[in-house]
Amino acid sequence: QSKPQARVDGSTGVKFSDVAGIDEAVEELQELVRYLKNPELFDKVGIKPPHGVLLEGPPGCGKTLVAKAIAGEAGVPFYQMAGSEFVEVLVGVGSARIRDLFKRAKVNKPAVVFIDEIDALGTRRHGDLSEKKGDLHNASIQERETTLNQLLIELDGFDSGKGVIFLGATNRMDLLDPALLRPGRFDRKIKILPPRAEGRLDILKVHAKKLKMSPSVDLSPYAKNLRGWSGAKLEQLIQESALVAVRKGHDSILQSDIDDAVDRLTIGPIRKGLQLS
């Protein structure tokens, strides 16, 4: 069980209420929070603890956000690194970083370890070693393999009751080394899909709540019309609307400010007049 100094790495402060439009995924991930809050209970009852969970989906739809929310809801430390940060030409650096990351999490458990862009690290091995491509290229492939092997070792070392949840995120599932997907490693996959109209409205509301909106603002036309926009892009729309409002000297965000922001984000700052209804 974690000690007070375990909080030095800090939790995220993010809650599930900050996440919108991916309700099914959130529902499924609640179990991880229950586990992190009380790993011993799972042990006592004899429930096999959750292990590695892979979050899969396009950029900007909330993979990192939801991972942070799991740690935030449970009030446990969050250890984040990107797969690309482990990929180094210098031999041994990547695997040392993996070891260090997991060590810190284990010392401070219960904890969440999150590796974004795990495909950068876990791409299929033995792919493209080639004499033609030169020593540097081959050394970097070999280093990536060493790093991936270290990750597999760490994942396998998470025996029951360890109290550390391992989350990975990718938008290139097809590139992942199959070894990562074996039982006992990433034994669950959860899709984080782009939001539909209702989800887009909820996401807009989550971000609008943080700013001063005029009470007359209706966000539903944007939710309806901005098909294909990710959570990140919708957040950007709200931020941009605030900037437009400030530039125009409004003391709260008006509907016309959001219309202008949509124009700026879709057709650039010069042309105007996009109809949203």
Contacting positions for ligand ATP (CB under 6 A):
19-22, 59-65, 116, 169, 171, 192, 203, 206, 231-232, 235
Whichever of 58 and 161 has its CB closer to ligand ATP, that residue is 58
On whether the CB atoms of residues 82 and 144 are closer than 8 A, the answer is no
Q: How far is CA 145 from CA 89, 95, 138, 139, in A?
A: 11, 9, 11, 10
The one-character DSSP state at 9 is G
Whichever of 59 and 92 has its CB closer to ligand ATP, that residue is 59
Whichever of 239 and 252 has its CB closer to ligand ATP, that residue is 239
Whichever of 141 and 226 has its CB closer to ligand ATP, that residue is 226
Selection from 114, 112, 102, 109 nearest residue 40 by Cα: 109
Q: How far is the CB of 67 from ligand ATP (least distance, A)?
A: 8
Q: What are phi and psi of 51, to 5 degrees?
A: -125, -110
**How many H-runs (helices) and E-runs (strands) does the chain carry?**
11, 5
Q: How far is the CB of 254 from ligand ATP (least distance, A)?
A: 23
Q: How would you classify residue 59: left for phi > 0, otherwise alpha for psi between -120 and 50, otherwise beta?
A: beta
76 three-class SS: coil
Whichever of 105 and 190 has its CB closer to ligand ATP, that residue is 190
The one-character DSSP state at 176 is B
d(CA 125, CA 268): 43
On whether the CB atoms of residues 255 and 218 are closer than 8 A, the answer is yes
d(CA 125, CA 141): 8
Whichever of 74 and 234 has its CB closer to ligand ATP, that residue is 234
Q: How far is the CB of 62 from ligand ATP (least distance, A)?
A: 3
Q: How far is the CB of 273 from ligand ATP (least distance, A)?
A: 28
Whichever of 124 and 191 has its CB closer to ligand ATP, that residue is 191
Q: How far is the CB of 229 from ligand ATP (least distance, A)?
A: 10
Q: Which residue is nearest to ligand ATP (CB)?
A: 231
112 three-class SS: strand
Q: How far is the CB of 195 from ligand ATP (least distance, A)?
A: 6
Whichever of 206 and 208 has its CB closer to ligand ATP, that residue is 206
d(CA 62, CA 67): 8
Longest dimension (CA), the chain: 66
Tokens of 105: 């999490």
